[in-house]
Chain A
Amino acid sequence: MVEAADSQDPELLRRLLRAKDRMDAASHEEWPVRRLARVSGVSAAHFARSFKEAFGVPPHRYLLTRRIERATALLRETEMSITEIAFHTGWGSLGTFGRTFRDITGENPGALRTRGRAAGRDLGRVPNCIVSAAHRPHLTTAVSEKRRRSVAGTKGLRKLKESK
């Protein structure tokens, strides 16, 4: 049974928010559900279910968006190499970073760096710490699901061409 989001207990939501804040503050760290559940003071099973209900995405997927957001900011604003950025934002390998980055943003880290610099900034009067939230990538589908879909789409296209 899925409850409407706003029927969740506000006291529980406040504690779930604390776990979300902790991921925001240290997205480069590992955040297994057990660790997050401890922050919120609930069981692991209860945590995963309640978090998704409250924030619309499972905790791990939320963490990935935050890592990509940080990586995006570092690509735009620093001279750090892509490898340095990958390890700095919590990925164990450059391959996983690149793949997840493409899955979420639709482009390579290098391409985003070039485009981000060319675009410049037109948000000068907005507090920068708030601008970074505006650049947060959307992630409404699972990364693996997104990959499956794009593969299926490519295959569909090929079939269409073959049938002509």
Chain B
Amino acid sequence: MNQGIDVVGVYVRDQDEAVAFYVDKLGFRIHTDVKNGEYRWLTVQHPEQPTFQLGLFKPGPPVHDEGTAQSLRAIVAKGAMPPLVLVVKDCRAAYDRLRGKGVEFMQEPIDRFGTVDAGFRDPSGNGWKMIQARG
């Protein structure tokens, strides 16, 4: 077996909306989607990265009290969560494709530092840098 990171999660405001974004727009696949009462464990996977899952978790009970959940929702909506980086083969082509699907770009592709990068947000406010793989 290989040791390493298996799941890293982001907070989203609505898990159905997050599936519509990460699966229908970005092209990720659902890995696990299990409900237990109010709790829903939802992870997606990049089609070319079968050893890593991105969790799409909603702040709230039973994990968080209402005050904490409200704080988390506010932090996400303000774009204050840590940076996320997606590597793509062709940044401009991916930009055109995703923009055509209605992805909200905060930065158009820019040629710099020997590669091309763009930036987009998920509906909740999580910010992604989309960087073209070097070479």
Query: Which residues on A are within 8 Å of B, measured CB to CB?
Result: 5-8, 10-11, 13-14, 16-18, 20-22, 24-25, 54-55, 127-130
Interface of chain A: mostly helix, strand, loop or mixed: helix
Once the chains are docked, how many angstroms separate the CA of A14 from the CA of B76? 8
Which residues of B sit under 8 angstroms from A55, Cβ to Cβ? 78
Is the Cβ of A127 less than 8 Å from the Cβ of B117?
Answer: yes
Q: Which positions 101-130 of chain B face chain A at CB distance < 8 Å? A: 104, 106-108, 112-113, 117, 119, 121, 124-125, 129
Which residues of A sit under 8 angstroms from B121, Cβ to Cβ? 17, 21
CB distance from B70 to the nearest CB of A (A): 6
B51 at the interface (CB under 8 A from A): no
Q: What size tier do the contact residues of chain B reach?
A: 20 to 34
Known: A54-B78, A130-B129. A6 touches B106 (CB 8 A): no
Query: Which residues on B are within 8 Å of A, measured CB to CB?
Result: 13, 70-71, 73-79, 83, 85, 104, 106-108, 112-113, 117, 119, 121, 124-125, 129, 131
CB distance from A18 to the nearest CB of B (A): 8
CB distance from B78 to the nearest CB of A (A): 5
Interface of chain B: mostly helix, strand, loop or mixed: mixed
User: What are 25 pairs between A and B in contact, CB < 8 Å?
Assistant: A6-B71, A6-B74, A7-B74, A10-B73, A10-B76, A13-B77, A14-B13, A14-B77, A14-B124, A14-B125, A17-B77, A17-B79, A17-B125, A21-B79, A21-B106, A25-B106, A25-B107, A127-B129, A128-B112, A128-B113, A129-B112, A129-B113, A129-B117, A129-B129, A129-B131
Is the Cβ of A7 less than 8 Å from the Cβ of B70?
Answer: yes
Which residues of B sit under 8 angstroms from A25, Cβ to Cβ? 106-108
Is the Cβ of B75 less than 8 Å from the Cβ of A6?
Answer: yes
Please pick, from A7, A13, A24, A127, the residue contacting B78 in the complex, using a CB distance under 8 A: A13
Please pick, from B70, B85, B113, the residue contacting A6 in the complex, using a CB distance under 8 A: B70
Chain A: which residue is nearest B106 at the CB level? A21
Once the chains are docked, how many angstroms separate the CA of A10 from the CA of B60? 14
Which residues of B sit under 8 angstroms from A11, Cβ to Cβ? 77
Closest 3 CB pairs of A and B: A13-B77, A21-B106, A10-B77
Which residues of B sit under 8 angstroms from A130, Cβ to Cβ? 83, 129
Which residues of A sit under 8 angstroms from B83, Cβ to Cβ? 127, 130
Further contacts, 10 of them, CB under 8 A, given A6-B70, A8-B74, A13-B125: A6-B71, A10-B73, A17-B77, A17-B78, A54-B78, A127-B83, A127-B117, A127-B131, A129-B131, A130-B83
